[in-house]
Every structure is written in C-alpha cells, then in structure tokens.
Chains A and B, each alone.
Chain A
Amino acid sequence: MPSTQLETGSPKLETDLRELAEDIVRRAMRGGATAAECVVREGDEFSTLVRLGQVETLKESGSRSIGVRVFSGQRAASTYSSDFSPASLDRMVKSALELSKITSEDPFGGIPEASQLGSLTGDLDLYHEDVYSLPGPDRIDYARRAEKAALDFDPRIKNSEGGSFDAATGHKVLANSRGFVGEYRRSYCSVAAVPIAQTEDGAMQRDYWFSVARTLSKLESPEQVGKVAAERTLRRLGARKAKTAQVPIIFDPMVAISILEHIFEGINGDSVYRGASFLAGKLGQKIAGDNVTIVDDGTIPGGFGTSPFDGEGVPTRRTVVIERGVLSSYLLNTYTAKKLGLKTTGNASRGLAGTPGIGPGNYFLQPGTRTPKQLISEIKEGLYVTEFLGHGANLVTGDYSRGASGLWISGGEFAYPVEEITVAGNLKEMFFSISEIANDLEFRGSVASPTLRIDGLTVGGE
C-alpha cells in the first residue's frame, strides 16, 4: 500500500481522510444502517494550452468529495457532498439513511463478504510526485514544444488548436462496515498536440497525437508527439469519398480499441443479467475466432487501469475474458456476480453516488506476430480506418454502423485519404471475422489493442 501520510499545500486538506471515511461508516451504522461504505476522493489538476506559441489557458486547482452508501437490510441508498463541514457530513449520513427507507428490498443487494475484501500489496508504481514538480514555465514549455514541432514539420500545417500539458494526482480512500479500509494515490501527466493542415483550396484537416504516463520520466518527448500529430494530420489532406463496397478493413490501434469496448459492454455483468447483450448466456461458448484472446488485468504495475482494490474493496486480479475465441469469463462486481450465481472479478467501479458499476482494469487484446505493414500489404482494395465518428453499436442486436475516415488501400499500399463514409456490419459476425491481429500492442490508456483486420463489413459512400 502507498503511504497514508498526506502531503499537501492546502490548509483544509490536512484532515486524515482515512479516519474520516471510517468515522462516516461508524456514524451510518450508529444511525441504524446494517452495512455502509464510504468513499473519499481528492485531487489536484494542472492544465495549460499553448496556441500558436502563446499561452491560451492556464488552470490549476484542487478539489475533494465524499460519498456514502448505506444499506437498511437489503434496501440501498447513497449520498455525497463536496462540503466537508461537520453539519454537511452529518446531513449526508442522515439523508442516506432516510433515502434507504424508500428503495426496494433487493435480495441480491449488499457489500462484499469480509472474505472477499482486501488489497494488493507491494508497490504498484501508480504515484510519482514528479508530475507536479515541474516549475510553471517548464510545464508551459512542454505544451509549446509539442505544438512547435507540429507547426514546424510541414508548411501545410498553418494553424493549430494548440499544444497542451496536463498533470493530475488523485487520492482515493474506501472504507466499509466489514472492516475494510484502503487507499491509494495515482498520478498522471500528458502532452498533446492538435495541428490543422490546409490545402491550397482552403480545405482543412485536423488530427492529434499525445503521450500519457504516470511519471514525467516516461512521457514521450513533446517533439515526438508534435511530429506524429503532424504526420497524422497531413495524411488526411485531400480526402474524398469512397464508393459503397464490401472490402477488408484495417483498424488502426486507436480505433481498434472501440471493438474491445464493444466486447466489454457485452460481457460486463450488468448487460449480462439483464439480457441487454447478445453475449449474455454465452459463457463457455465460441464468440470469436481462435486468434482472439482478451485479458483484463488490474494488477499490472504502472498500468493506467491498475489499482490495489476495486470500487468495493475487492482486490483486483487478472481475468482471461476470451480465450482463443471462447468466452471464458464475464467481468463482474459483487451485485452482478450474485445475480448470475458467480464470483466477483474485482471489477467494481464506483463514483461518488449510486450503485457501483463495472469497469475494466488494463484490458487488452493479445497481439499477434505480424507487423501492421504486412497486414496492409496483403490487401488489394480496402480501407484503413483512422477515425470513427458517432456511437453506432447496439449490443442488444449486434448492429454496427459508424461514421469513418481513413486511408484507401490499393495494391497493398495507402492510395489516398477518404472521409464522409460509413462502416457497417453486425458485431456477432465481426468478432469471428477478425482475420488478422498485428504485433503492435501499446498502452495509451487502460484499454489497448494492436492493429487488426476485419472482413465482411460494408463501406457506405457514393
């Protein structure tokens, strides 16, 4: 566990939050709750945006909030507050107890059993003070350098939405009436550039690139970020529409992530017990091709989806979700596990209020062995998608339809950029039609995918 010592420059943040969380739980129990759970969160954020070389915004602040969930028998309710005054905290606990009288008896309600509670030990490498150690002018310089690298890359890059540098730290405490109390800190920093390129006829294209890390020492150089952003923007210039056709489609890693997100939406316990997913009831069955293995692992040191325990105080773990195409596990919290007669997978995610949801840890598709270039070289006519617009996936039916832009592939090479087209199919078939998975797995967030190829989709255009 990270240290419980609090270091902060703010006078009001010196309260021991761990103590506070335990105290709120005690107060709820004294007030008549049969179980209670309290979460406290505090964080600091810094962000700056530099546009065309000038600082445009500079933001710096900290905030905190507290939430309590109580059970009266099997009736649950929750309340939260950003006001930590004794009167306000008192009202928060009383309101929760009051509210729990009007909710329904739910036989599956409750917090985890004591035997399920716990926290990973050892250093998970989630917190580095260095994200906040840079002096103000140096932080601004990060943003400036990223933008400058993009602007200097090519004369067709004439405008910009700016370069940015962000840093944040967060501290989370969770306590419950079964004796669990845990806390952890996480840090984060990122640098990004959003250049705009223009053709002679005035048509503009915008794209972006970024690097994100838990420590400044692992952040890619702003120059590298700016250069990639420029390349990604320039390759879109002169885009045209494509003809309506059925062709093989290559998903760039940043858009391939969306396929994993659809699978997550379909296999999380909440969708499953309600039958809101075509993957409900498919445990042990083949739902994708043999080449597809998907893992959720909340324990990877330094990972963007890593934490020592989940939103209910259950230790995180590694779960193989799909093994060689077979659905081997749903992702669950305590409630959905009980509903399905299974055990929680430690994937509870908790906001300040309401019932815990389900969230991924580090969730990824196992890479293959071939390079993205090899995948592209085998396609006579096809589409390489670099961006999706809209949210057109329906997990109840599997229907899939999204706006897209990217590069047309002809004779195994990129031919020209395309835009204002759609990509449509059905997820039930798409998961079986992932014909190739490349070797380029890289985490730029908690969900990651290599480049992949899917056959049988319809491109809608002229």
Chain B
Amino acid sequence: MDTFAQLSPRSARRHLILVGKSLDKQLPDKQRFFFDHYGVTENDLEHYLAAALSAGGDYADLYFEFLSSTSLMVDESMVKSASQGISAGCGVRVVSGERTGYAYTDDLSASRILHAARTAALIASAPAKTPVAGFQKTAARSLYPVVLPSVDAEITAKVELVMRADKAARGYDPRIQEVRASYSDELRNILVVASDGTFAEDSQPLARMNVSCIAKTEGSSARGGSGGGGRVALDFFFGDKNPEFFAKEAARQAILQLDAREAPAGDMEVVLGPGWPGVLLHEAVGHGLEADFNRKKTSAFAGLIGKRVASEKCTVIDNGTMPWRRGSLNVDDEGEPTQETVLIEKGILKGYLSDKLSARLMGISDTGNGRRESYEHIPMPRMTNTYMLAGQDNPEDIIRSVKRGIYAVNFGGGQVDITNGKFVFGASEAYMIEDGQITAPIKGATLIGNGPDVLTRVSMVGNDLKLDEGVGTCGKDGQAVPVGVGIPTIKIDRLTVGGTAKKDPGGFMQ
C-alpha cells in the first residue's frame, strides 16, 4: 500500500536512547520473559493446557501478562503526582462450540494456574482432549522495537517533559491560566500459548503525553486539550512531537474557544478535517464490522457483505501493522499476527474484523483482531488503526464547494449503538463555512448520524490522509484498548449538528 510510508510516523530514529539508572528492574528479554522471570517451561504450558481441556472443549489458550507502568502529572506548575506499578497474571480460556469458560489468576505459581485452568474447564462436559504436541512459534515481527524500554528510562527526563509542557502552554498566551500536563508509559510483556500449537511472545511499549488548559478572560472561560504518543519510547517526545508541540496545540484550542459562537442545529453539510476526525469511521462503521456482532446478527451491518455501504470514493482499512502506532500489535492477544484488512473498498463492504472464535464459527479468516484489555478479560474482535484512504480532491476545493455548513477539525470522543447504527462524535474545534469560506469558530457540538448510510453521502475525499497523534482508547463491553484512527479531509452532504443557535446568521434553520 503506497500510503504506508506517508502514514508511518517520522523516520526511524528510535535508536536514540536515554541511558539512565533503572528504578526497579533489569532489562526484560522479550523472547524469554516468563521463562526467565517466572520459571515457566514449555512442559508446564502443555500441562496447563491439558488441564484446561480436561473436560473436553475445542480449544484452550493461556495469556500471560506482565505490565509495568509509570505516570506523572504536573498541575499548577508542580509535579503533584508520580506513580509506578506492576500487574501480572494469567488468563485461561476454554472454548467449546460457542461457549467460553474463563478464569484468571494474579499468582503465576503452577498450582494457581492449574486451578484457573480447571475452573475454565467447567464450561465443557465431555471426555478430555489433548492439545497438539509441540508449539509453533509465531514468526517474530518488530513494529515497535524498543532497545531500552521507556518505563526504565530516567525518571527525571520524564519530569522534564511535563514541566516543559507546562511552561510552553503558559507561555503561549497570558490568558492561559490553568495547565495540567501528564506523561504515562507502560511496557506489557505477553505470552500466548494455545492448544492449536500457537506460541507467541511480544513486548509492547505504549507512551503518551497529554496537555489540558483553561483560558480565562473577564466573563469567559474555555478549555483546550491535546496529546499524542504511540508504541514508542521516551525519545519520541524529544523529536518534533515534543512537549511544546502538544502544549501549544492545547493552548491554541482554549484561546480559540474563548470567541466561539453558538453552533447551528439541524441537518447540514459537514466537512471533516484530516486526522483525528477519523473517529467517524471508528464509530460509524468500525464497530459495526466487528465479527462477533455480525455472527450474532446484532449489527446494523449484518448481511451487508458485497453491498454498497459508502460512496465509491470511500475505501476503509483496518491495519495493525503500522510501525510505532498506538493501535498496532506484532501479534494480537490470541497470538495471531496482525494484518491490513480492507473493510470497505470503493464503497462496497468487503469484510469483518475477526478473532479466532468468530473466524471458526463463521467460516471466515482470522484477521488478527482478537484483543483484550488484560489477563482478566476474554478476547474479542477489536479495531487496531482504522482509516480511509486518500482521494483525489484538494482540501481547499472541498471547503470552497460548501455554501453553508460546518468544518470540524477536532473531536472529543464518540459512541455508537451498533444495533440501530446510530452514532455520535463530539466536535471540540469547528468553524462555520459560509459561501465557501471558513468563518467563525463555533462551540463544541455533537454530530449524529446513521452508520450504514453516512458514508454513502461522502461526496468529496481529500488527498491529505493523516493519522491521529496517538490518543485513542476504545471501550467495548467494559474493556479498554488503545487504537488509532485516520482520515483525509472529507465532505458529508448531510449530517445532523447538535447546536443551539436559534437562528443561524446564515439563515438555514427553520
């Protein structure tokens, strides 16, 4: 895919390492982590899987996880909070037909894992099965090689990051009165083994900075926020996506909002800017294409494969293989390599996002989208990085084509009801478009639409595909996982805008 280079963030200068003393542990070896630290052997793993299948079942797997995290927060120019922690455990899953038994333990001793395996086994009630002999190691990939994991980098360098962000935000404009800047990172070591011979290990870094600020004038206040990161190390934040970059962006948004006027209400033309507005795709189509909802026929997209669900200008991809990206994974949480999956091609629905269970039950291929929040959770189909391919239109021409509408460039979050297809996403930075010109900024407004047909009204697609800065977290059934989104500038001919303006200056309300 030729957009790949464009989409991968910056050049490969991740070998810049901050050498510092390790606070609490030695460098983990990605490939042997649970063997070295917890004395696990391949024999043990086979033994646990045999216990999991002791009452029958079609499939069993073990998910070992060791997570260490650090977070820092600056408020009122003081480092008010610093924390570090570790969490480790193992989840055992047994699948029998459509039934799943699950148990976990935060104690990685053999007796506790066996106890969990026997508890999960209660889902089945048949003669014992034997796991396949010998594991097939998943070929190692390296989408986010981190020589020295960020969690072990010098803590003072992280303090410097948040303090610099505080200073830059305050320095942007005297009206910036309150600033909070935070930095958090984690390193997750996982080992997945399964009765089908799966054996996969990975070491997954994740780091993020956030800046939020409040601008105040006499009689008016507004907030702004910004952030970014990915499966990167600390040095990422010393490049062009540095604390000053995020701080200025947060401050700019807060100042801009001071003068925002009321947003219009009702159906109108909407232009989405590139990048994070791709949250539209995540809500409007992404969730509805997760295989579990379609297997159960609870999604508004069920049965629409091969049908037109978008204008022919729309091609939508989910891609877990993009280096350094927040939504990327070398292997998913079932040990399957992630891949690039075409969801919608030139407007036609092509496929679903699948995990092992749905792939088997639906007779479709596993797209490597089986993900879970932690060892305490059952995996299910989830998105990775979801975006729309660039089109032919010049973004300026797109704006010029709109007589009256809104141009939304930044969003908070979104939400979808996958059964009736209705979705929302909240614009946090948006402008009026009047006679083809961007005019005044407007207050935050919710946009609402219908997933299966919103993309059929996409009439222009820009040539400026961009991915978000790395801030997305997706929630489903109470499980949170990091994801990415991206989109070029697009025009939607009609979408409902949730403003308050009683009579819009442009005069397009009843």
**Does A405 contact B422, Cβ atoms closer than 8 Å?**
yes
Which residue from chain A places its CB closest to the CB of B91 in the assembled complex?
A61
- List chain A residues, Cβ under 8 A from B109: 12
**B300, closest chain A residue (CB):** A204
Chain B, residues 174-218, CB within 8 Å of chain A (1/0): the string is 000110100000000000000000000000000000000010100
Give every chain A residue within 8 A of B81 (Cβ-Cβ).
76-78, 103, 354-355
Whether A204 and B298, one on each chain, are in contact in the complex, defined by CB atoms closer than 8 angstroms, is: yes
Q: How far is the CA of A50 from the CA of B111 in the complex (A)?
A: 30
Contacts A11-B111, A419-B422 given; indicate if A63 touches B80 (C-beta within 8 A).
Answer: no
Specify which chain B residues have a CB less than 8 angstroms from the CB of A79 in the assembled complex. Answer: 83-85
Whole-angstrom CA separation of A397 from B216 in the bound complex: 11
With most chain A CB atoms within 10 A of its CB, the pick from B71, B82, B416, B499 is B82
Interface window among A121-129, A174-182, A215-223, A454-462: A454-462
Which residues of B lie under 8 Å from residue A92 when comparing CB positions? 85
Number of residues from B at the complex interface, CB < 8 A: 85
In the complex, which of the residues B23, B122, B296, B509 contacts A244, with contact meaning CB atoms closer than 8 Å? B509
Selecting from A253-261, A283-291, A365-373, A388-396, the interface stretch reads: A388-396
Chain A residue numbers with a CB within 8 Å of B417 are 206, 387, 389
Q: What are the residues of chain A within 8 A of B23 when measuring CB–CB?
A: 95, 98-99
Cross-chain contact A244 with B265 (CB below 8 angstroms): yes
Per-residue contact bits, chain B 58-98, to A (CB 8 Å; 1 contact, 0 not): 00000000000001010100111111111111000000001
7 nearest interchain CB pairs? A422-B498, A403-B424, A80-B85, A104-B78, A206-B419, A390-B424, A353-B83
Q: Does A276 contact B (CB under 8 A)?
A: yes
- Contact status B298-A458, CB under 8 Å: no
Q: Which of A82, A239, A391, A421 contacts B426 (CB 8 A)?
A: A391
Known contacts: A104-B79, A206-B420. The answer to whether A462 contacts B266 by CB under 8 A is yes
* A462 CB contact (under 8 Å) in B101, B107, B267: B267
**Assuming the A-B contacts A58-B100, A390-B426, A391-B426, are A204 and B420 also in contact, with contact meaning beta carbons closer than 8 angstroms in the complex?**
yes
Q: Are B177 and A275 in contact (CB under 8 A)?
A: yes
Judging by beta carbons under 8 Å apart, are A102 and B499 in contact?
no
B257 within 8 A of A: yes
What is the bound-complex CA distance between A161 and B477, given in angstroms? 11
From A245, A274, A402, B498 is in contact (CB under 8 Å) with A402
Chain B residue nearest to A59 in the complex (CB): B102
Q: CA–CA, A55 to B191, complex, Å?
A: 28
CA distance A462 to B102 in the complex (A): 47
Verify if B360 is at the interface (C-beta below 8 Å from A): no
Complex contact A82–B86 (CB within 8 A)? yes
CB distance from A92 to the nearest CB of B (A): 8
CB closest residue in chain A, given B420: A205
Which residue, of B84, B502, B510, has the highest number of chain A Cβ atoms within 10 A?
A: B84
Minimum distance in angstroms from A245 CB to a CB of chain B: 8
Q: Which of A51, A54, A57, A392 counts the most B-chain CB atoms under 10 A from its CB?
A: A392
Q: Is the CB of B263 within 8 A of A77?
A: no
Complex: how many Å from CA A157 to CA B376?
Answer: 33
